Amino acid sequence: MNDTPRLILHDIPDYHKLDVYIANGGYETYRKAIKMAPDEVTNEVRKSGLRGRGGAAFPTGLKWTFMPKGSDRPKYLAVNGDESEPGSFKDRQIFEHNPHQLIEGILISGYAMGINTAYIYIRGEYHKWINLMQKAIDDAYSRGFVGPKMNDTFGNNYYLDIYIHKGAGAYICGEETSLMTSIEGDRGYPRYKPPFPAQRGLWDMPTTVNNVETITTVTPILNMGGDNFAKIGAPGHPGTLLFGVSGHVNKPGVYELPTGTLLTDIIYNYCGGVKNNKKIKAVIPGGSSMPPLRGDEIEGVKMDEESLKVLGTHIGTGGIIVMDEDTDLVKATLRIAHFYHHESCGQCTPCREGCGWMENVLHRIETGDATSKDLDLLVSIANNIEGNTICALGDAAAWPVRGFVTKFRDEFEKAVKEKRTFISPNIVHGKRSSANTLLQAS
Ligand SMILES: Cc1cc2nc3c(=O)[nH]c(=O)nc-3n(C[C@H](O)[C@H](O)[C@H](O)COP(=O)(O)O)c2cc1C
Ligand code: SF4
């Protein structure tokens, strides 16, 4: 456990303070980056294999190449810290413990793409983290690491301004096009793509949207070199990831681990196992919008996008939600469906109506008023939402409902038939005496 590389959550006291950051080599990677041509910086990120940490795992270097070159039009970087998906709470660790590495990552990314203005979008309720991040930005400005004084500090002509934009507490504002309409001062409504943000983004200008953790990871990539970063973790999805683990584990929290770490290692070694030594019924691997894994599926599962894709789910935000054998999955699914129904912006019919229907049907099951046909209806509604909406909130609502109903059909059937929710005993993960010893199969 001790040789785990730490690229973001460093074990250095007061690392969030500018002087401590500088004493540990802070802002030196940016000096290194500006000795390279902007395209070389982008190439280094491409070589690293870095994939976005905001949910879709899109290759970051490739995204940067979509930004037009040689134009006088202003370009923007929007750093996505809305972090409103249930089960996701890792970007706040960066605001709190490593804000200057994020700022340095913004400088490097901005330099690579020829951007002079960056916005960090933070959910409005996160007062504490907004204040901490603002303090770091103010300190960086006052020392000339950000803003027009950068020209003197670093001895070149490039400079960049950073602004925090506070959201008003809407999950949909984390969706990239919605985030941009929100920054522009309008209600956060997703826009149809294409055009993509690199073509028409903020104020119709070329814009790159990247997650907070993605941009923070750019700094160590430039420091160690793309090739070295690519050797960490799973080859198809390299690096370390901030896994936010919640639910029925003894030590919930955010763990920085290489991609490809076994899910059972995360739960049993790092998180101290399941509370009261219970068995696991289900695990959502990447935030509440991802299809769940059954407890008896998690043995040998590696936590990276390519491995999870094979199992019909995704890495998402790396937010792992562990549900023990006593979890009432009808109630859990209803709670998730309620969230997405509530957060739907209402622009497209399949999402606006479908999310409400799914919630109503699940409510019928919970209150004992449903029939088996309602389970097929749920799957059918989810199928009709998926892929038929302007933004991916529709998929985010459909996937967990379809996943729970199909993977735990027996539990849902039982709930319907007996007019009560039922805990199925034969589909839980084996009980363990330690991290590596399986005592019984079910
Ligand atoms: C409904 C919805 C909410 C989202 N919320 C977030 C969020 O809070 N933070 C985030 O980084 N990405 C979020 N995303 C993904 C963004 O649209 C976008 O893909 C991401 O910010 C790109 O950054 P990355 O390439 O670095 O991952 C959300 C997407 C959807 C559909
Ligand atoms: S999918 Fe839902 S949240 Fe996204 S644009 Fe359509 S109605 Fe709005």
Closest ligand 1 atom number to CA of residue 176: 17
Contacts within 8 Å (CB) and 24+ apart, 417-421: 417/372, 419/368, 420/368, 421/328, 421/329, 421/330, 421/331, 421/365, 421/366
Instruction: Give the Å distance between the CA of 55 and the centre of ligand 1.
Output: 6
Instruction: Give the Å distance between the CA of 242 and the centre of ligand 2.
Output: 28
Nearest CA to ligand 2 atom 6: 348
Instruction: Tell me which residue of 298, 232, 237 sits closest to 268, measured CA to CA.
Output: 298
Whether domain 329-422 has CATH 1.20.1440.230: yes
Residue length of the chain = 442
Instruction: Give the Å distance between the CA of 79 and the centre of ligand 2.
Output: 21
Ligand nearest to the CA of 345: 2
Closest ligand 2 atom number to CA of residue 343: 3
Closest ligand 1 atom number to CA of residue 171: 3
Mutate to test the pocket of ligand 2, among 177, 351, 384 (most ligand atoms within 8 A of CB): 351
C-beta separation of 131 from 45 below 8 A? no
Nearest CA to ligand 1 atom 5: 174
CATH number for the domain running over 240-322: 3.10.20.600
Q: What is the β-pairing status of strands 207-211 and 233-234?
A: unpaired
Pairwise CA distance, residues 354 & 368, whole Å: 21
C-alpha distances (whole Å) from 327 to each of 8, 55, 411, 436 are: 33, 26, 11, 24
Pairwise CA distance, residues 2 & 253, whole Å: 17
Closest ligand 1 atom number to CA of residue 57: 27
Mutate to test the pocket of ligand 2, among 342, 389, 395, 399 (most ligand atoms within 8 A of CB): 389
List, chain by chain if needed, residues with CB within 6 Å of any ligand 2 atom.
Answer: 172, 190, 344-348, 351-352, 389-391, 393-394
Instruction: Tell me which residue of 267, 244, 199, 281 sits closest to 94, measured CA to CA.
Output: 244
Rg (CA), the chain: 22
**pLDDT score for 298:** 97
Domains 240-322 and 329-422 share a fold: no
Mutate to test the pocket of ligand 2, among 391, 395, 399 (most ligand atoms within 8 A of CB): 391
**pLDDT score for 438:** 47
Closest ligand 2 atom number to CA of residue 344: 3
Instruction: Give the Å distance between the CA of 345 and the centre of ligand 1.
Output: 16
Instruction: Give the Å distance between the CA of 363 and the centre of ligand 2.
Output: 22
Mutate to test the pocket of ligand 2, among 175, 193, 345, 381 (most ligand atoms within 8 A of CB): 345
Q: What letter represents residue 177's amino acid? A: T
What residues are paired with 434 via a beta bridge? 437
Tokens of 231: 């050797």
**pLDDT score for 117:** 98
Pick the CATH number of 18-231 from 3.40.50.11540, 3.30.230.10, 1.10.357.10, 1.10.510.10: 3.40.50.11540
> For every residue of the chain, which 3-state class applies, written as one string?
CCCCCCCCCCCCCCCCCHHHHHHCCCCHHHHHHCCCCHHHHHHHHHHHCCECCCCCCCEHHHHHHCCCCCCCCCCEEEEEECCCCCCCCCHHHHHHHCHHHHHHHHHHHHHHHCCCEEEEEECCCCHHHHHHHHHHHHHHHHCCCCCCCHHHHHCCCCCCEEEEEECCCCHHHHCHHHHHHHHCCCCCCCCCCCCCCCCCCHHHCCEEEEEHHHHHHHHHHHHHCHHHHHCCEECCEECEEEEEEEECECCCEEEEEECCCEHHHHHHHHCCCEHHHCCEEEEECCCCCCCCEEHHHCCCCECCHHHHHHCCCCCCCCEEEEEECCCCHHHHHHHHHHHHHHHCCCCCHHHHHHHHHHHHHHHHHHCCCCCCHHHHHHHHHHHHHCCCCCCCHHHHHHHHHHHHHHHCHHHHHHHHHCCCCCCCHHHCCCCEEECCEECCCC
Ligand nearest to the CA of 343: 2
Closest ligand 2 atom number to CA of residue 389: 1
Cis status, amide bond into 235, omega within 30 of 0: no
Ligand nearest to the CA of 122: 1
Pairwise CA distance, residues 181 & 55, whole Å: 20
Closest ligand 1 atom number to CA of residue 123: 8
List, chain by chain if needed, residues with CB within 6 Å of any ligand 1 atom.
Answer: 52-56, 58, 80, 82-85, 171-172, 174-176, 209-211, 214, 391-393, 396
Burial of 353 (0-12, 13-18, 19+ CB in 10 A): middle
Name 35's Cβ contacts closer than 8 Å, sequence gap at least 6: none
Q: Where are the domains of the chain?
A: 18-231, 240-322, 329-422
Ligand nearest to the CA of 176: 1
Instruction: Give the Å distance between the CA of 379 and the centre of ligand 2.
Output: 19
Instruction: Give the Å distance between the CA of 368 and the centre of ligand 2.
Output: 30
Instruction: Tell me which residue of 249, 264, 262, 242 sits closest to 10, measured CA to CA.
Output: 242
List b or e across 270-295, with b for residues whose CB sees 16 or more CB atoms inside 10 angstroms: bbebbeeebbbbbbbbbbbbbbbbbb
Give me the tens of pLDDT residue by residue for the chain, a chain 442 residues long.
556 789 999 999 999 999 999 999 999 999 999 999 999 999 999 999 999 999 999 999 999 999 999 888 999 999 999 999 999 999 999 999 999 999 999 999 999 999 999 999 999 999 999 999 999 999 999 999 999 999 999 999 999 999 999 999 999 999 999 999 999 999 999 999 999 999 999 999 999 999 999 999 999 999 999 999 999 999 999 999 999 999 999 999 999 999 999 999 999 999 999 999 999 999 999 999 999 999 999 999 999 999 999 999 999 999 999 999 999 999 999 999 999 999 999 999 999 999 999 999 999 999 999 999 999 999 999 999 999 999 999 999 999 999 999 999 999 999 999 886 555 544 555 555 555 444 443 3
What residues are paired with 59 via a beta bridge? 51
Pairwise CA distance, residues 342 & 213, whole Å: 27
C-beta separation of 257 from 241 below 8 A? yes
Closest ligand 2 atom number to CA of residue 172: 3
